[in-house]
Amino acid sequence: MKTTTSTQVTHYEVQKKRRESLLEEWKGYHKTVVRRSDVTMVDVPSRRTRRGVYAGWDGDRPTKNLDATVHELDPGVTTTIHRHSWDAIMFVEEGSGWTEIDGQRIDWRPWDTLHLPSWAWHRHGNDGDRPARFHTWSVEPMLEQFGVALLEEGGDTPVKDLPPRPRQVEPITGDDPYARRTQRLARQYEGTESARLVTRFEDVRGLVTKRGARSLFLVDKSIGYHTAGLSAVMHELAPGLYQSRHRHGGEAWLYGVSGEGYSIIDDVRHDWAAGDLVVVDHWQWHQHFNASKDKTARLVRVHNFDALYDMMRILMDPLNLFEELPTLDAPDLTGVVWPDHLEGRPEG
């Protein structure tokens, strides 16, 4: 075994080079708009589905935080069951079907949103008469980065014969450092297994924000979900209108659900339509516009807030990780008549 070091370059030079090449490599992976037509659907025989990757390692568009995948499920098909250490948001685009999460069946229709919690066994079924399509946005890349991304396949085993979710420790009484750790972890985990799993689109209504859009939470801790940081909001942009400009330290992903528009990101215009994914990279000034004069444009915004951005804010302080104009450049919404929020939703 070799026990001597004969490096001729200094620690400083090695680290400097490593830092530069990492960022260069990662900037090369960034793609601002991934169009529906850029996404190839591929058969996944082991799960009985088809899958297309918008962004993520599995589709040769590596990411470090989130990934975005679209899934297709033929009529009459039930997938195999699996579970994983990362959680995911699932957004239904077309068709109707169901998802079973730890044995609990949830029926869904277009624009319904589900949360697939970490370590919950899940499988999907299509009992409609045409293919169903849904999107998932997960934090698998973040867990892979930390070396804790675990995936377990259950095949067609009934959920009652599969092991339960890993148990969190019971809190130990006392004030020693170990007891305190168990108490804190138990507190954090509390409610996780009974947390909310679905947002039905017909049951939610948006509120007009100061930024100029009508927005509603799809998945967020403020409406009863326990995620590992994932949050999803739907923004509706009124015909011909837009949202105020801002920038932030974390990236934001925007999936076009209906309508068409464009985003100005660091002074460059990027057009998008339903089916496209817009990836706003960190610290880029951005503003989203509805390009239509008569139709609402809807975007689902996904980010990894509580886990990643809160940590980034603390680690990066005193750098400010959110910035908007001192006076918001939001449109005047007086007189705007918002269409029925179900307008344009595909039949289930």
**Residues in contact with Fe ion by the rule CB under 5 A:** 252
Alpha-carbon gap, residue 314 to 282, rounded angstroms: 16
- Closest separation in Å from C-beta 282 to Fe ion: 10
- Closest separation in Å from C-beta 7 to Fe ion: 44
- Nearer to Fe ion (CB atom), residue 252 or residue 265: 252
Alpha-carbon gap, residue 222 to 225, rounded angstroms: 7
- Closest separation in Å from C-beta 301 to Fe ion: 7
Alpha-carbon gap, residue 120 to 74, rounded angstroms: 23
- Nearer to Fe ion (CB atom), residue 139 or residue 252: 252
H, E, C per residue of 81-150:
EEEECCCEEEEEEECCEEEEECCEEEEECCCCEEEECCCCCEEEECCCCCCEEEEEEECHHHHHHCCCCC
- Closest separation in Å from C-beta 177 to Fe ion: 36
For Fe ion, the nearest residue by Cβ is: 252
- Nearer to Fe ion (CB atom), residue 68 or residue 252: 252
- Nearer to Fe ion (CB atom), residue 252 or residue 321: 252
Contact (CB, 8 A) for 242 and 336? no
Alpha-carbon gap, residue 204 to 236, rounded angstroms: 13
Residues 6+ apart with CB under 8 A from 314: none
- Closest separation in Å from C-beta 44 to Fe ion: 12
Q: Where are the alpha helices (DSSP H) in the chain?
A: 11-29, 140-145, 177-189, 310-316
- Nearer to Fe ion (CB atom), residue 271 or residue 339: 271
- Closest separation in Å from C-beta 8 to Fe ion: 47
- Nearer to Fe ion (CB atom), residue 237 or residue 252: 252
Contact (CB, 8 A) for 308 and 229? yes
- Closest separation in Å from C-beta 116 to Fe ion: 6
- Nearer to Fe ion (CB atom), residue 39 or residue 90: 90
Phi-psi map region of 87: left, alpha, beta (phi>0 left; psi -120 to 50 alpha): beta
Phi-psi map region of 191: left, alpha, beta (phi>0 left; psi -120 to 50 alpha): left
Q: How far is CA 290 from the centre of its chain?
A: 22
Q: How many residues does the chain have?
A: 348
